[in-house]
């Protein structure tokens, strides 16, 4: 894999193309330390093709048209989802990364619209910039509004490993998934081993700057079952990706799946793997 940009002391990438590289906003590393979406390295492209193929496959299983990508970063996945025919809105924690997402969408010639059907296009206009004007907006994952931020499919890829409170983040995602949630994280320890094999981040034992949490496939699925029903799983190297279904009460408030998770030490037979 091509050499990633050299991280600075705070983990923000240097040496990346202008407008790329991770950035620290609101105490969280956002964006990509290594421009894996834009790389021309054939091995890296093969890995990303696997990631995107798994994401497209799982999103199609949800059978919806509108989605909200939480933690959209520079907007690469949101733009790809729009090119696949989805109506997409994206949010992330700070202004710098959101401006990059808007610029990326404009450069790609893609209309990434927030006028989604989860609460009606008429309500979207009334909500102003948060409802369909810019396409990408500033919002913390911890402060998602179950009314204005809900969507038939919520996508949150390559985010949870960066967060101080992943359980709290999953609770927030559960509250806005109506009913589908698609999530992914690096699969450990494979991720760090792969970094070390190419001589990267050796002093951190292969840990990518900004990664605070580390899950094996088994431990990540166990985490998810505390918040949702895991419906299908894909394992594009070196990630774990899952499509989950969230149970909701009639008023739209999602019910916890904790009791079911505690009763089953491993993910049950409803999980499809590939």
Is residue 206 within 8 A of residue 192, CB to CB? The reply is yes
What pLDDT score does 1 carry? 31
- Tokens standing for 24? 């620290």
Cα dihedral 179, 66, 75, 198 in deg (nearest 10): 50
Strand intervals (E) in the chain: 6-7, 13-14, 23-25, 28-30, 66-70, 87-92, 136-138, 151-157, 177-186, 229-234, 239-245
Low-confidence ranges of the chain (pLDDT < 50): 1-18, 114-134, 250, 252, 256-273
Rounded to an integer, what distance in angstroms lies between the CA atom of residue 206 and that of residue 132?
A: 40
Strands 28-30 and 66-70: unpaired
Contact 176, 130 (CB under 8 A): no
For residue 114, what pLDDT is reported? Answer: 43
pLDDT of residue 106: 86
pLDDT of residue 260: 38
Beta carbons within 8 Å of 220's beta carbon, 6+ residues apart: 185, 187, 240, 242
Per-residue model confidence as pLDDT tens digits over 134-165: 489 999 999 999 999 999 999 999 999 999 99
CA geometry: angle 222, 223, 228, nearest 5 deg = 90
The answer to whether the beta carbons of residues 67 and 86 sit under 8 Å apart is yes
Nearest alpha-carbon partner for 194 in 66, 44, 60, 89:
44
Distance of CA 79 to the CA centre of its chain: 13
Domains of the chain: 41-263 (3.40.50.150)
Region of 262 please: left (phi>0), alpha (psi -120 to 50) or beta.
Answer: alpha
């Amino acid at each position: 894999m091509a050499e990633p940009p050299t991280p600075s002391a705070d983990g923000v990438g240097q040496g990346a193309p202008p407008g790329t590289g991770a950035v620290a906003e609101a105490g969280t590393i956002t964006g990509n330390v290594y421009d894996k979406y834009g790389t021309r390295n054939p091995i890296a492209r093969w890995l990303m093709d696997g990631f995107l193929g798994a994401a497209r496959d799982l999103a199609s299983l949800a059978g919806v048209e509108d989605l909200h990508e939480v933690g959209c970063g520079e907007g690469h996945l949101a733009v790809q989802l729009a090119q696949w025919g989805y109506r997409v809105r994206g949010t992330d924690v700070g202004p710098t990364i959101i401006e990059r997402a808007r610029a990326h969408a404009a450069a790609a010639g893609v209309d990434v619209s927030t006028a989604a059907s989860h609460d009606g296009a008429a309500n979207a206009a009334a909500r102003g910039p948060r409802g369909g004007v810019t396409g990408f907006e500033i919002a913390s994952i911890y402060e998602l509004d179950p009314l204005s931020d809900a969507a038939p499919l919520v996508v949150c890829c390559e985010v949870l490993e960066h967060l101080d409170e992943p359980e709290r983040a999953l609770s927030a995602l559960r509250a806005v998934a109506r009913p589908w949630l698609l999530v992914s994280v690096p699969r450990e320890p494979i991720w760090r081993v792969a970094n070390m094999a190419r001589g990267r981040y050796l002093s951190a034992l292969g840990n990518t700057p900004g990664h605070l949490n580390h899950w094996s496939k088994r431990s990540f699925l166990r985490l998810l079952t505390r918040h949702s029903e895991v419906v299908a799983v894909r394992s594009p190297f070196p990630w774990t990706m899952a499509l989950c279904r969230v149970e909701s009460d009639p008023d739209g408030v999602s019910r916890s799946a904790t009791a079911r998770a505690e009763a089953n030490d491993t993910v049950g037979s409803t999980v499809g793997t590939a």
